Amino acid sequence: MLPQSNEEAEPDGDQETTLIGKILSTTLPDGDAFIRVFNSIWGTALLAIHMLQPHFFLFKFTNLASMAMIKRRGPWSFDGDMVAFTPFNSLLSLPELDFTSQLFWVRIYQLPLGLMNERMGILLGGRIGRLIAVDTRRVAGNLGEYFRLRIEIDISKPLRRCIMIGKRLDGSNKFCLLKYERLANFCFGCGLIGHTVSVCPSIPADSTGKYQYGPWLRAPSERHQAKQPLPRQGIIYIDSEVEPIQQPTTSRSKAIPRLPASTPLCTTEPTIADLLQTIGDGKAASRSIKRVHPGEATPSTSTAVKRLKITESTNIITSPSNTTAITVMAEAGDQPRLEP
Q: How confident is the prediction along the chain (340 residues), in pLDDT tens digits per residue?
A: 445 555 555 445 588 999 999 999 999 999 999 999 999 999 999 999 999 999 999 999 999 999 999 999 999 999 999 999 999 999 999 999 999 999 999 999 999 999 999 999 999 998 899 999 999 999 888 899 999 999 999 999 999 999 888 888 888 888 899 999 999 999 999 999 999 998 998 888 777 768 889 999 999 987 645 456 666 688 999 875 554 444 444 555 444 444 444 444 444 444 444 444 433 333 333 333 333 333 333 333 333 322 333 323 323 333 333 323 333 333 333 333 333 3
How far, CA to CA in Å, does 127 sit from each of 119, 265, 315, 332? Answer: 13, 11, 12, 4
Homologous superfamily, domain 11-94: RRM (RNA recognition motif) domain (3.30.70.330)
Spell out the domain ranges in the chain: 11-94, 102-183+218-327
CA 162, 165, 166, 171 torsion-angle sign:
negative
Across the strands, what pairs with 218?
180
Rounded to whole angstroms, how far apart are CA atoms 268 and 211? 10
Pairing of strands 162-167, 296-297: unpaired
Across the strands, what pairs with 235?
135
Catalogue the long-range contacts made by 276-281 (C-beta closer than 8 Å, 24 or more residues apart): 276/110, 277/168, 277/172, 277/174, 278/110, 278/112, 278/168, 278/174, 279/112, 279/166, 279/168, 279/169, 279/174, 279/305, 279/324, 279/326, 280/168, 280/169, 280/304, 280/305, 280/324
Predicted model pTM:
0.71
Residue type, 34: F
